[in-house]
Each structure stands twice: as structure tokens, then as C-alpha cells.
């Protein structure tokens, strides 16, 4: 069994997860995300956790098992706390300016 797929996805307060046939929807303070769950993989919704199970030990199901768990975890993180990227500029002559909602790089 996939080591990543075995881990449950913890759902923080303020995040709602729902399921409609093969679609999973995650809604939180930062927005809504949805994805289609592939055949052979089942998403089990709990109180404060989500588990991903697979229907058989086939090659396709094994490969999707960890992928779907990671995608669901990323969806939960995205709607609850959002994503950020830290840039580090090193070198002579490089300059960066942060505007209202833009980043201007002089390279």
C-alpha cells in the first residue's frame, strides 16, 4: 500500500468537504476547489479527516492512490491558508520592487 496514500488528510475548522458521485468539492475561507476522482479510488469523508482508499491492487489504482491523497491535501491547504512562494535574489545588479499587487524584477 502507498505510504502517502495511507495517511489521512486532516481537515481544519472552517473547511467543508462534500462529494457528489465522482466529484469532490472543498470549500473554505480562501475559496472553492473541486476535482474529479478517478475510477478505482474512493474518497471516504470523516468528521475531521478524509481517507483515500483504492478498490484493487491494480497498477493504475496504486498509482492514483497517493496522487489523489496529495491532491486532496493540497486542496484543503489552498482553501484554508493559501499558498505562498518565497523568492531569494542573490547577485550583483539584480533589483526587485513590490507594488500594489505586482512584483517588478530588474535582471
Range of the domain at 52: 3-80
Q: Specify if 22 maps to a domain.
A: yes
Q: Specify if 38 maps to a domain.
A: yes
pLDDT the model gives residue 42: 93
Q: Specify if 101 maps to a domain.
A: no
pLDDT tens track for 29-84: 999 999 999 999 999 999 899 999 999 999 999 999 999 999 999 999 999 999 88
* CATH number of 58's domain: 3.90.930.12
Contact yes or no for 28/15 (Cβ under 8 A): yes
Per-residue pLDDT band at 1 (split at 50, 70, 90): low
CB atoms within 10 A of CB 28: 22
The pTM (predicted TM-score) of the whole model is: 0.81
Q: Specify if 43 maps to a domain.
A: yes
Q: Specify if 32 maps to a domain.
A: yes
Q: Specify if 68 maps to a domain.
A: yes
Contact yes or no for 35/71 (Cβ under 8 A): yes
pLDDT tens track for 4-26: 888 999 999 999 999 998 999 99
Q: Work out how many domains the chain is built from and give that number.
A: 1
* DSSP character string of 8-60: PEE--TT-EEEEETTEEEEEETTEEEEEEPPTTEEEEE-SSEEEEEESS--HH
Amino acid at each position: 500500500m502507498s505510504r502517502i496514500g495511507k495517511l489521512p488528510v486532516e481537515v481544519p475548522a472552517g473547511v467543508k468537504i462534500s462529494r457528489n458521485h465522482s466529484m469532490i468539492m472543498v470549500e473554505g475561507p480562501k475559496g472553492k476547489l473541486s476535482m474529479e476522482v478517478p475510477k478505482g479510488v474512493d474518497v471516504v469523508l470523516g468528521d475531521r479527516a478524509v481517507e483515500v482508499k483504492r478498490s484493487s491492487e491494480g497498477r493504475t489504482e496504486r498509482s492514483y492512490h497517493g496522487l489523489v491523497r496529495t491532491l486532496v491535501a493540497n486542496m484543503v491547504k489552498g482553501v484554508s491558508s493559501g499558498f505562498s512562494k518565497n523568492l531569494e535574489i542573490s547577485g550583483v545588479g539584480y533589483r526587485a520592487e513590490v507594488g500594489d499587487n505586482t512584483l517588478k524584477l530588474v535582471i
